[in-house]
Amino acid sequence: MDSVTFLIALGAIVAGFSQGLSGFGFGLVAMSFWAWVIDPKLAAALSVVGGLTGQIVAAFTVRRGFNLKLIFPFILGGLCGIPIGVYLLPLLDIYKFKTVLGTFLILWCPFMLFADRIPKITQSSRFFDGIAGLGGGIMGGLGGFTGTLPTLWCTLRGFDRDTQRSIIQNFNFAMLVVIFMSYIGKGVITTEMISTFLIVSPIVVITSYFGTRMYLGISQQRFRQIVLTLLTFSGLTMLITSVPHLLK
């Protein structure tokens, strides 16, 4: 096994388990491994395929807190955001991609680490839920990061764990199905990628399943803290390696 294949597999293992445990974050976790070694378009396609695989596993194993009225505005906003993200994807430059992703990681991850200390937004409208979904759709079109911004918003809303997971899990599933079809239609996903998909998908099935089992049995807080801390340092490293090239 060469080093690139090893990092692809390792990213799928960690990201699959993380998504199974928390209900989101496959693309974000996987990209901390993949953005170093593979083309952004392939990384985006793998994130969508892996994330969708994990959500299918979760759909059969975690069915708590479902509320269609809460979920619908997120999905509607996400459907509006996906075309924007898909349009922007072919315009990406590898170093700009790493810079944006790295900056996002070092801003988002520490925020989530201390989110429990931030006052909750108990009064809000469905419009703002839709805006959070719009951001998730744009991020999803760029690389399968569908759940990141909606998860931030749900955390600020103060939803309990099962309600938040149900919103994000169903939102991610709907978004990733649409993004997957959009990628096929725009030629982002090609037949040459199938061999790599066959590496990632079986790994995600197994690791996502174990992640969902752990979610049902124990708290995810400690694991979440470890992952977010590691991702913060990954984002910092991405900036160190990409910014000098942009400055040239």
pLDDT confidence of residue 171:
93
**Which pLDDT band holds residue 143 (cuts at 50, 70, 90)?**
low
211 occurs within a structural domain: yes
Reported as a single tens digit per residue, the pLDDT across 180-238 is: 998 898 888 889 999 999 999 999 999 999 988 888 777 767 766 776 776 787 788 77
pLDDT confidence of residue 188:
84
pLDDT confidence of residue 46:
92
155 occurs within a structural domain: yes
pLDDT confidence of residue 168:
87
Residue 116 has pLDDT above 70, yes or no: no
The domain in which residue 147 lies consists of 3-243
**Portion of the chain with pLDDT greater than 90, in percent:** 25
CA within 13 Å, CB half, 244? 4
Residue 117 has pLDDT above 70, yes or no: no
9 occurs within a structural domain: yes
192 occurs within a structural domain: yes
Average pLDDT over residues 100-121: 77
86 occurs within a structural domain: yes
- Largest pairwise CA distance in the chain: 52
133 occurs within a structural domain: yes
Residue 2 has pLDDT above 90, yes or no: no
Domain count for the chain: 1
pLDDT confidence of residue 59:
83
Average pLDDT over residues 32-57: 87
Q: Per-residue b/e over 213-240, b at no fewer than 16 CB within 10 Å?
A: eebeeeebeebbeebbeebbebbebbbe
7 occurs within a structural domain: yes
248 occurs within a structural domain: no
